[in-house]
Structure 1
Amino acid sequence: MRRGPVAVVVRAWAGRAAALAAAVLIAVTFGWAPGVTQDESGPLFAAATALVVLQAAAFRWAPRREAAVGIGLAAVALTLWPQPLVPSASLYERVGMGAFWFLPTLGAAVVGGYPRLMERRRSQAVRAARHSQQLELAHDLHDFVAHDISGIVAQAQAARFVAGQNPEAAAGALERIERAGLAALASIDRAVHLLRDPGHEANCASLPGAAQLAELVRRFNENGRTRARIDISPGVEAALSREAAATVHRVLTEALTNVRRHAPDAIGVEVALTRADEAVRLTVTNDSGRSRARTREHGGTGGLGRRGGIGGTGLLALTERVRAMNGTLHTTRREGTWRLTVTLPATGDTA
């Protein structure tokens, strides 16, 4: 939020003005007030009232260090200014007067400090939202663009291998490279739109969800020798919220990308999206039996990823996203078979 010139001036001088006024009030109180009766204390009362206004301004706008000095001196001045006017007061009466005249400082803290606190919280919320959006965009680029680029690399390698012997096969590979490149450009374009318009994602009907899982598997089958098969139970998509559907798509994208990277010779991939009680479950099973020898030779896993099946930062970040949605993501390995399982609560209409 941009501040006007008046607010800038007040911010710069509020704390100093409060400190200066407090010092003047204390000097006047103990230098002149002892000879003043209560009926003649109007100017002192007006000065104390003005000091409360300066306190509120310091609470609202002054930098912390200047605000602490100014408000502290002002609180002392407000507490002490009526003391010389009642020379015969007892200790308890003086303590009571001091406590009473400390209340305006608390009122100034509420009047000036509360809006400042709310503004600070709004600023923190804006920064947190921007940081969250940056993470979402980074995940989008990793999940979708990396998937398409890995397909481009696989097709380029295949085209180079068969170009001399079968030009027609190379031409088909080039067409698939073109489609993957266009898909990557579309993902980048979507990320740019999100940067320009934070509300674009909420209104963008083209964001991937459960309905695009079959298309994702079809594109995976075009870009390598490993074949994937998908089974989506009837009505399961209606049991997913839009956020959950997008998460399912992202997890599957990352899983298929890791299969292509770490198990290019795998026998096959089985994908299933099913309803389980009050949850929806996605399972991705990678039979890496044929790639085990290659895996041992290169020290890899031959599965969905490294370190227990969750490789790199992709699935690690998605694991946190799934947990935030009260779901679970875990992987298992059994005799050359890797399985990734995501369970999300069913929140949509299941009728």
Structure 2
Amino acid sequence: MTRDGGRRFAAAGRWVTEGGRRVTAGGVAGVAGAVSLAVTLAHPLTGRASVNALAMVAEVSVLLVLTVVTVRRSPARQAAVAATLSGSAVAFILLRAVWQGPPQLAFGACAAWALGAVAATGVGLYLRRLDDNRRRAVEEATRAQRLGLARDLHDFVAHDVNGMLVQAQAARVVAGELPEPVADALRRIEEAGQRALASLDRTVHALGERGPGIEGLARLADAFSPGVRVDLHVEPGPAPRQEVSSLAYRVVAEALTNVRRHAPRATIVAVEIGEKGGVLRVRVADDGGGSSPSTRAGGFGLAGLGDLLEARGGRLTAGPHGPGWQVVAEIPA
């Protein structure tokens, strides 16, 4: 596994194979637990009374580590199933050694080893809570920064722009008759100031709130360039967290902006959003007719979103797709 791949697994509890398939820790833990249980249940059929103690300890160690990682990183339902399988495998594994002994010995062995599985689950839950607290702290800090920036824009920048606008308006009134080029220049300055104030108002509003989420994509699609059909498909399911939903909206909005900028002859844009395995996948693809791939690198907007997603355990890719271009984002849900 590469260093980047290891970091991504540590952040999201999954491996990404060369073919792009996601192998989750929960899936590995579930399969490993099921196989271990099957071997334990089939052991009496072999007729062997002895087992390899070192191999059994190694197997238990792997199962316990997988239990911790699964409970910490996987979605709740997947974590519950996988942890039950791997924990049960740990609890019953000693039956391979004591299956010919008295039932009391077998019961005691299972109960003792079950404590290890319970402890691993507890460690995973504790780390999961720490991760949740850390994520909430980052979200609150980010929101505080946005609110502070919004206040600065409103109190200082907007005030200065408004002062420039007032001076331009006063110049037109005080100077009286002006040469046409000068009057036209002052009029353009006034109009530019009004547009700047309107843009600042929108920016302050956007910074002061979390911004729209997936529920706002229909309106965004309807307001897209005339002559371009936006096919929006959102798979049914539980609504993601607001932070995740807002990120999905930003990815779609930036991708549509790039379509307008680089593919003016595109006629169809497909927007697909769905959640699987604890990851929200966002895909935006156009049917081409725009710039060459070398000139459609995605711009600073997508690059910034890519860095943001990577920091949160996700990823963003952009590249040619058939005759057109596609942007794919994976956001841990």
TM range (shorter): 0.3 to 0.5
Given the two structures, how large is their TM-score scaled by the length of structure 2?
0.40
Given the two structures, how large is their TM-score scaled by the length of structure 1?
0.38
Report the structure number with the largest CA radius of gyration: 1
